[in-house]
């Protein structure tokens, strides 16, 4: 059995003794990831969304947020059975963290790593419309009509893409801002209008950007950046009570 007992995590978050927390669970007042919890449930406080009476419980004591400029050739998964370098091999953290969302192995650019499961959940949820901006090097030079199609939405095998902001920076170089996060979305969008992607770099995630961060470099987010990011996913009120001004 993996994880921590739910009543222990709740007691640490200030909901009373473990016995009192067992009582809350028996009264069906606690949910884990939207499902009513049962006595005996275990949780990973880094990734589970735990609510008591519908309000988020702050079960993670110490949240950390890193911004990595992921280099080409590094995988985003937490561990790789093929032994390739992962983003977690690069970012040294005092606590266990995980990447928020996924960049393809050959995609470069900004990636957030954290132990804040709520942020990760909200940022990657399909209903999240946080902007992600990419610099996209493609084969050939997209025509105005190809760019218009990318803007309006193109049909992929999992449906039409939502409207995107697309501009031509120079010959064969596009700047694309999308508000969805489907698998290999930018590559598939460009391929759908006849232009294979040869290089893809994420340059912005919502309010986060940093042109000075070299490939392979990382840093912790400032408190102001965390605030702006939480605000972008609608978690500000909570934040105000848990972080210094």
Catalytic machinery residues: 104
For residue 152, give every residue at least 6 positions away whose Cβ sits within 8 Å of its Cβ, in sequence order, or none.
163
Q: Does 118 bind ligand URA (CB under 6 A)?
A: no
Q: Minimal CB distance to ligand URA: which residue? A: 107
Q: Which stretch binds ligand URA (CB under 6 A): 2-10, 46-54, 101-109, 155-163?
A: 101-109
Q: Which sign, positive or negative, has the C-alpha torsion 229, 34, 93, 13?
A: positive
Q: Does 186 bind ligand URA (CB under 6 A)?
A: yes
Q: Does 75 bind ligand URA (CB under 6 A)?
A: no
Q: Does 7 bind ligand URA (CB under 6 A)?
A: no
Residue 172 to residue 103: CA distance in whole angstroms:
21
Q: Considering beta carbons, is residue 50 or 110 the nearer one to ligand URA?
A: 110
Candidate list 107, 114, 115, 161; residue touching ligand URA; CB under 6 A: 107
Residue 108 to residue 74: CA distance in whole angstroms:
9
| Rg of the chain in Å (alpha carbons) | 20
Q: Which run of H or of E encompasses 219? A: strand 218-220
DSSP string, 83-133: ---BHHHH---SS--EESS---TT-EEEEEEES-HHHHHHHHSTT----EE
Q: How far is the CB of 229 from ligand URA (least distance, A)?
A: 18
Q: Which stretch binds ligand URA (CB under 6 A): 15-23, 85-93, 180-188, 231-239?
A: 180-188
Q: Does 103 bind ligand URA (CB under 6 A)?
A: yes
**Residues in the chain, how many?**
245
Q: Considering beta carbons, is residue 16 or 71 the nearer one to ligand URA?
A: 71
- Residues within the interface to ligand URA (CB under 6 A): 103-104, 107, 184-187, 200
């Amino acid at each position: 059995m993996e994880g921590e007992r739910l009543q222990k995590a709740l007691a640490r978050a200030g909901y009373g003794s473990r016995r009192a927390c067992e009582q809350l669970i028996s009264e069906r007042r606690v949910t884990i990831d939207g499902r009513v919890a049962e006595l005996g449930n275990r949780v990973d406080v880094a990734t589970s969304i735990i609510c008591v009476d519908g309000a988020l419980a702050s079960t993670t004591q110490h949240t950390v947020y890193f911004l990595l400029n992921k280099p080409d050739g590094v995988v985003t998964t937490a561990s790789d059975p093929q032994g390739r370098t992962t983003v977690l091999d690069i970012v040294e953290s005092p606590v266990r963290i995980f990447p928020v969302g996924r960049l393809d192995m050959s995609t470069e650019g900004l990636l957030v790593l954290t132990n804040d499961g709520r942020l990760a959940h909200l940022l990657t949820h399909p209903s999240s419309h946080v902007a992600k901006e990419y610099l996209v090097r493609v084969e050939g030079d997209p025509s105005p009509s190809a760019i218009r199609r990318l803007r309006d939405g193109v049909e992929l095998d999992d449906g039409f893409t939502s409207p995107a902001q697309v501009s031509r920076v120079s010959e064969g170089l596009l700047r694309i801002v999308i508000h969805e996060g489907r698998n290999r979305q930018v590559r598939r969008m460009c391929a759908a209008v006849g232009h294979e992607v040869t290089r893809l770099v994420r340059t912005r995630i919502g309010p986060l950007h940093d042109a000075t961060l070299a490939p392979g470099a990382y840093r912790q987010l400032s408190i102001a950046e965390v605030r702006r990011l939480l605000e972008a996913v609608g978690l500000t009120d909570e934040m105000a009570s848990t972080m210094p001004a």
